[in-house]
Amino acid sequence: MIDFGKVVNIFANNQALLISGVISTIILSVFGTVVGLFLGVFIAYGKNIKTKPTMNWFKRIGLSVVRWLCNIYSVVLRGTPMMVQALIFKYGCAALGLNWDNIRFPGMISNVFNGWFFAGLIVITFNTAAYMAEIVQSGLNGVDMGQVEGARSLGMKSSETSFFVVLPQAIRNSLPTIGNELIVNIKDSSVLNVIATTELYYRMKVISSASYAFLEGYLILALIYLVLTLLAAGILKLIEKKLDGKKISLNPFARFKRGLFA
């Protein structure tokens, strides 16, 4: 049975730890999604690089290598668990003599930011970039060719058309999938506890171990994650609705009620 007294005690005695864990999780997920999207755009374009026979051999080989690296990056990071990537990153850094424990901050800020928190940011960002590359590539393929032809007819260069006409539409069309990736990152940031990143799950693991209230602790943890994901989903819905603008119903009776015509 659930001991509700323990639930109350966990909230009452560990507010600072829980708040710092929530802040860490939000920063990890938002930063990883935004910067991962930025990197994913370049990886998506890198995967679509085309070479021409008229190019000199040095440029042709260089572009082929970039395309090959982008494809390998996407396949490897999407095909392996983020937990495993985090452990490889941790022990890889140790092999190179880089100790993230040496990065420390003074005062209360150390409750959120430390060396392993930044290590977690790196892992989640590069993992997200691989997925964002696929999302952006799908969005690019979904843009109507008439948009490209219209931009070129106005005298825009190929690069200008790509970045100022095609890319904004691709990202807008992919916004629901990008938002879903943010929600996934809120939950999947929990795996970063394996490298001692002080996010929400790590904090609750410490609290539950100290109080021996494992069932109550992890039920609270599930509730907090649920609230965070619902809030993220609600905010994304509002953003999508704002970008869609005001819609006019094609139902003539609905239009009459709104006074759009006499």
Angstrom distances, CA of residue 127 to CA of 65, 157, 177: 21, 33, 16
| Tokens 């572009």, located at residue | 63
pLDDT score, position 241: 83
Cα(79)–Cα(67) distance, integer angstroms = 18
pLDDT score, position 107: 63
Contact 198, 24 (CB under 8 A): yes
In tens digits, the chain (262 residues) has pLDDT values of 677 788 888 888 888 888 989 999 999 999 999 999 999 999 999 998 888 888 888 888 998 999 999 999 999 999 999 999 999 999 999 999 888 888 777 765 766 778 889 999 999 999 999 999 999 998 888 887 777 778 777 778 877 888 888 888 888 888 899 999 999 999 999 999 999 888 999 999 988 888 888 888 899 999 999 999 999 999 999 888 887 766 555 565 555 555 544 4
Cα(164)–Cα(63) distance, integer angstroms = 23
Contact 40, 193 (CB under 8 A): no
The reply to whether the predicted model has a pTM over 0.75 is: yes
Convert the chain into a string of H (helix), E (strand) and C (coil): CCCHHHHHHHHHHCHHHHHHHHHHHHHHHHHHHHHHHHHHHHHHHHHCCCCCCCCCHHHHHHHHHHHHHHHHHHHHHHHCCHHHHHHHHHHHHHHCCCCHHHCCCCHHHHHCCCHHHHHHHHHHHHHHHHHHHHHHHHHHHHCCHHHHHHHHHCCCCHHHHHHHHHHHHHHHHCHHHHHHHHHHHHHHHHHHHHHCCCCHHHHHHHHHHHHCCHHHHHHHHHHHHHHHHHHHHHHHHHHHHHHHCCCCCCCHHHHHHCCCCC
Count of residues for the chain? Answer: 262
Q: What values do phi and psi take at 79, rounded to 5?
A: -95, 0
Q: Cα angle vertex 85, ends 83, 91, to 5°?
A: 105
Structure tokens that stand for 245 in this block? 């603008």
pLDDT score, position 262: 44
The CATH code of the domain at 4-257 is 1.10.3720.10
| Amino acid at position 93, single letter | C
HSE-CB at 245 with a 13 A cutoff on CA atoms is 2
Q: What values do phi and psi take at 134, rounded to 5?
A: -70, -40
For the chain, domain boundaries: 4-257
Cα(227)–Cα(220) distance, integer angstroms = 11
Cα(235)–Cα(44) distance, integer angstroms = 27
Contact 27, 112 (CB under 8 A): yes
